[in-house]
């Protein structure tokens, strides 16, 4: 007879064999977002795949590593330094919000583009920053000693936060730079990033939408792509080449490390790397948490945004002024909408839920072994029970976020709380009026990009969806207000927008100009505020506390779960989930055969762009000058075969949001492109990476330089770069 221990081992081996049958063969060399300081562990597979430069040229602590040429662009993109004078290359969509703030009807950079003809013509970008990571260090031994793995998060987090604050201060004193410590592997490791942030950033090049957003939503998150998704900025520095606020006397940042630019091109099968700041992945979660993404959040968001985008598009197509107000907002909403559709499809095609469950059977059998830490045995049952307990609450909350707070006027109701607070501070009437006026003027950014009629139509589109799906859980006020408006969404919208002060800055300023200390009731009776307050109160009382408690418990259990997974497969190199910190991924350039007539390809060209030209569709309208350049074959040094220019290419690199704008490098560490998207078939890579389907999409650097030089007439910038063959 077998002992219990031997039976458990036999069961474990059987399950492992069954999982191996379920899972396709995969190359670990193509999966993972690796901390640069750990790249020594990958030197052998990287060199076998085609890495030619020394591994410590990618990252080192002496200041000579290429990590010093990669920047966090703004708050959530990546950029790369491409000249000794601080030129930064990133995506068009990463610069979109900044350029919207610089644009108006007279200077429509979306329609016409912007190409500075000299440094004096570069435009300051208020609020934009870029951050360099000078080095990274594993500080786990400074943070976790003496803190038990099973200590609950509230107490644990308090102890850790105190230690982090002290260690960060030590590094800042020692290095003279900023220091930020973040958790990895759900808090099983901690790393410090030593950083330097520059605040004087100026716009240099921004192609028109006919290049930078070519293909629009139709091509977003798909392959093939034909988008010149790039923009160029410059970092300026103050005295001693250090960060400084904007000043006319600042000089271009003198970069010690910047990327050489390859004009040689590449071929399928060539080695490539992506360096950047991936935002969020969840590779190690349970099937129960994956279900909340796959079956709850994504479908709700897709349905609501489909309605919202259709409404916005109708108004944007009818008015250029509304287009300019909503173009950046629309791009942000549409980006998630399209991505989540591909995510669901990819998870379904890859049988991701089944694969997760199969892996969990293996884990459960291992956890049951007498030699395994008994704490691990209850992790999965608890994750399952707690997820099922809150699934309906998450369902309700997601509907509120997308359908109720997706209406701008209701979302703006939060502004009333800040205004109303001024009435409780004991001001005189004149002081109150002055305070309210200043508060309202500080919120002008909202009204600069807001249209009442557009938002009213969104109200009429989204509110019925909320009522349909959450009718048993609506706040009482919503039923009351709906009935008071004769159960007509059209009437409800018309009267709400007619009566609310929040629909315009002018209404609010008029109220502020005549306000008295007894007038707070005017604000608190505003119909938009009442709708906001009712749903905010419902969330606060019935949803948020329980969801937050679940998230806290889930974080605790997931921390133990990933620790246990790493113990079970102690010989495997694990990469931490993305958390907007510097990472490097690598893989080969490889094509994809999508559904449809396009067929297998790994590269697209300008000829294909011209073939897609359709003046009846804004997203496929090619600028006249670009057509002229193609017609005359005026490609300069950027052509392939003297017949066209390469536009975009794909490779098997593991990327995520935040990798937008990342440098794509060849085996010599030279820039061959700028990452901007993923293929529709592989957008599930935040949860499951399949090298057969997952592809990152990049703008070919030769197309970028062709547009700068030939289309934009800014060849002076190309002369500033170091081109290599």
Residues with a catalytic annotation lie at 93, 229, 660
Residue 366 token pair: 């291992």
Q: What one-character-per-residue DSSP string does 510-558 give?
A: HHHHT--TTTHHHHHT-HHHHHHHHHHHHIIIIIHHHHHHHHHHHHHHH
Which of 284, 415, 327, 278 lies closest to 696, judged by CA?
A: 278
Cα gap 480→534, rounded to integer Å: 11
Strand partners, 79: 71
Cα gap 454→493, rounded to integer Å: 11
Would you put residue 414 in left (φ > 0), alpha (ψ -120 to 50) or beta? alpha
User: What phi and psi values does residue 412 have, to the nearest 5 degrees?
Assistant: -70, -10
Q: Are strands 261-262 and 723-724 parallel, antiparallel or unpaired?
A: parallel
Cα gap 103→320, rounded to integer Å: 12
Residue 503 token pair: 């629909």
Residue 708 token pair: 């700068």
3-state secondary structure of 275: strand
Cα gap 351→346, rounded to integer Å: 8
660 near 72, Cβ under 8 Å? Answer: no
360 near 22, Cβ under 8 Å? Answer: no
Q: What ranges in 569-694 are assigned the alpha helix state H?
A: 606-611, 624-631
Cα gap 383→60, rounded to integer Å: 40
Cα gap 647→594, rounded to integer Å: 18
Cα gap 125→103, rounded to integer Å: 11
- Run of H or E residues at 417: helix 414-422
Cα gap 32→358, rounded to integer Å: 21
Cα gap 207→699, rounded to integer Å: 13
- Run of H or E residues at 604: strand 603-605
655 near 91, Cβ under 8 Å? Answer: no
Residue 403 token pair: 């359908």
Torsion of CA 359, 360, 362, 364, to 10 degrees: 170
């Amino acid at each position: 007879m077998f002992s219990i221990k031997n039976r458990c081992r036999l069961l474990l081996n059987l399950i492992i064999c069954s999982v191996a049958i379920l899972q396709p063969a995969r190359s670990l060399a193509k999966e993972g977002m690796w901390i640069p300081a750990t790249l020594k562990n990958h030197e052998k597979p990287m060199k076998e795949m085609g890495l030619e430069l020394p591994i410590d040229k990618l990252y080192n602590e002496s200041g000579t590593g290429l990590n010093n040429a990669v920047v966090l662009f703004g708050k959530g993109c990546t950029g790369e330094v491409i000249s000794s004078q601080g030129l930064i290359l990133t995506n068009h969509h990463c610069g979109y919000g900044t350029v919207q703030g610089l644009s108006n009807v007279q200077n429509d950079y979306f329609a016409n583009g912007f190409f500075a003809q000299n440094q004096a013509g570069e435009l300051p970008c208020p609020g934009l920053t870029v951050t360099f990571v000078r080095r990274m260090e594993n500080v786990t031994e400074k943070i976790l000693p003496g803190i038990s793995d099973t200590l609950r998060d509230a107490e644990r987090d308090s102890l850790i936060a105190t230690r982090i604050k002290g260690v960060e201060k030590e590094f800042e004193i020692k290095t003279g730079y900023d220091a930020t410590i973040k958790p990895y592997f759900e808090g099983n490791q901690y790393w410090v990033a030593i950083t330097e942030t520059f605040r004087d950033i100026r716009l240099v090049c921004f192609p028109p939408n006919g290049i930078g957003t070519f293909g629009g939503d139709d091509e977003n998150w798909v392959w093939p792509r034909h988008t010149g998704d790039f923009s160029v900025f410059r970092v300026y520095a103050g005295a001693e080449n250090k960060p400084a606020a904007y000043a006319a006397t600042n000089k271009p940042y003198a970069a010690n490390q910047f990327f050489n630019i390859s004009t040689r091109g590449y071929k399928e099968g060539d080695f490539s790397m992506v360096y950047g700041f991936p935002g969020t992945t969840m590779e190690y979660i349970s099937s129960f948490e994956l279900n909340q993404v796959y079956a709850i959040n994504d479908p709700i968001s897709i349905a609501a945004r489909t309605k919202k985008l259709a409404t916005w598009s109708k108004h944007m197509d009818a008015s250029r002024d509304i287009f300019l107000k909503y173009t950046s907002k629309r791009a942000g909403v549409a980006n998630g909408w399209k991505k989540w559709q591909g995510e669901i499809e990819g998870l379904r095609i890859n049988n991701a839920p089944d694969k997760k469950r199969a892996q969990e059977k293996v884990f459960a059998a291992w956890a049951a072994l007498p030699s395994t830490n008994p704490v691990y045995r209850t992790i999965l049952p608890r994750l399952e029970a707690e997820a099922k307990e809150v699934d309906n609450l998450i369902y309700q909350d997601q509907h509120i976020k997308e359908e109720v707070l997706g209406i701008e006027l209701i979302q703006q109701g939060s502004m009333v709380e800040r205004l109303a607070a001024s009435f409780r501070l004991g001001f005189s009437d004149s002081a109150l009026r002055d305070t309210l006026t200043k508060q309202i003027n500080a919120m002008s950014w909202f009204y600069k990009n807001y249209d009442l009629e557009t938002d009213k139509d969104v109200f009429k589109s989204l509110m019925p969806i909320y009522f349909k799906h959450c009718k048993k859980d609506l706040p009482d006020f919503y039923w009351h207000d709906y009935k008071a408006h004769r159960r007509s969404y059209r009437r409800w919208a018309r009267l709400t927008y007619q009566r609310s002060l929040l629909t315009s800055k002018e209404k609010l300023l008029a109220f502020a100009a005549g306000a008295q200390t007894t007038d707070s009731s005017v604000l608190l009776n505003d119909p938009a505020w009442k709708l906001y307050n009712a749903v905010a109160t419902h969330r606060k009382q019935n949803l948020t506390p329980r969801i937050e408690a679940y998230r806290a418990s889930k974080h605790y259990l997931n921390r133990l779960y990933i620790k246990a997974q790493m113990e079970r497969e102690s010989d495997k190199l694990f990469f931490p989930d993305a958390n907007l910190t510097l990472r490097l991924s690598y893989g080969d350039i490889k094509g994809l055969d999508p559904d449809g007539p396009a067929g297998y390809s790994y590269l697209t060209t300008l000829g294909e762009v011209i073939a897609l030209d359709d003046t009846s569709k804004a997203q496929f309208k090619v600028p006249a000058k670009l057509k002229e350049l193609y017609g005359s074959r005026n490609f300069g040094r950027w052509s392939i075969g003297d017949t066209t220019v390469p536009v975009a290419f794909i490779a098997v690199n593991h990327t995520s949001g935040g990798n937008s704008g990342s440098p794509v490098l060849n085996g010599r560490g030279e820039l061959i492109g700028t990452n901007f998207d993923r293929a529709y078939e592989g957008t599930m890579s935040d949860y499951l990476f399949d090298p057969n389907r997952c592809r990152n999409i990049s703008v070919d650097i030769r197309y970028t330089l062709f547009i700068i030089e030939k289309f934009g007439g800014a060849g002076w910038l190309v002369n500033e770069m170091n081109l290599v063959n």
